[in-house]
């Protein structure tokens, strides 16, 4: 398992379009991804779980990846979040 702390920089937070972009990028990996926000563990491949978490702008989150391609998945997840979660 690998993990990294980061912050959501999209001014609108983790809303529908960025969440969809994120999930689209993450589903190509075999590893599991978890977003830890306010002590809750959120499935990073589930749009419903991400949307229900209400992750706002500047929220501190931790990304955890576990599996055979975990480091590549973590690197892309952090890059997407730190670039504003827009287009993939």
CATH number at residue 39: 3.30.1340.10
Residue 72 lies in a domain: yes
Tens-digit pLDDT string for the chain (88 aa):
999 999 999 888 888 888 899 999 999 999 999 999 999 999 999 999 999 999 999 999 999 999 999 999 999 999 999 988 765 4
Answer yes or no: is 88 within a domain.
Answer: no
Model confidence, pTM? 0.92
Please tell me the predicted confidence (pLDDT) of residue 45: 96
Which position has the token pair 């690197």?
75
15 is catalytic: yes
Residue 16 lies in a domain: yes
Query: What's the domain count of the chain?
Result: 1
Tokens 């500047």 identify what position?
58
According to the model, what pLDDT value does residue 87 have? 53
| Structural domain includes residue 78 | yes
Of 3, 4, 15, 56, the catalytic one is 15
Confirm if 55 and 8 have CB atoms less than 8 A apart: yes
C-alpha span between 18 and 34 (Å, rounded): 16
Whether 87 maps to a domain, the answer reads no
50 assigned to some structural domain: yes
Phi, psi (degrees; rounded to nearest 5) at 19: -65, -40
**Domain of 13?**
2-82
């Amino acid at each position: 398992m690998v993990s990294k702390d980061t912050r959501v920089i999209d001014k609108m937070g983790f809303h529908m379009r960025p969440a969809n972009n994120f999930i689209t990028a993450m589903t190509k990996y075999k590893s599991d991804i978890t977003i830890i926000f306010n002590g809750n563990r959120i499935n990073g491949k589930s749009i419903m779980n991400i949307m229900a978490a209400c992750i706002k702008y500047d929220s501190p989150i931790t990304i955890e990846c576990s599996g055979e391609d975990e480091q590549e998945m973590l690197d892309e997840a952090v890059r997407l979040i730190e670039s504003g979660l827009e287009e993939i």
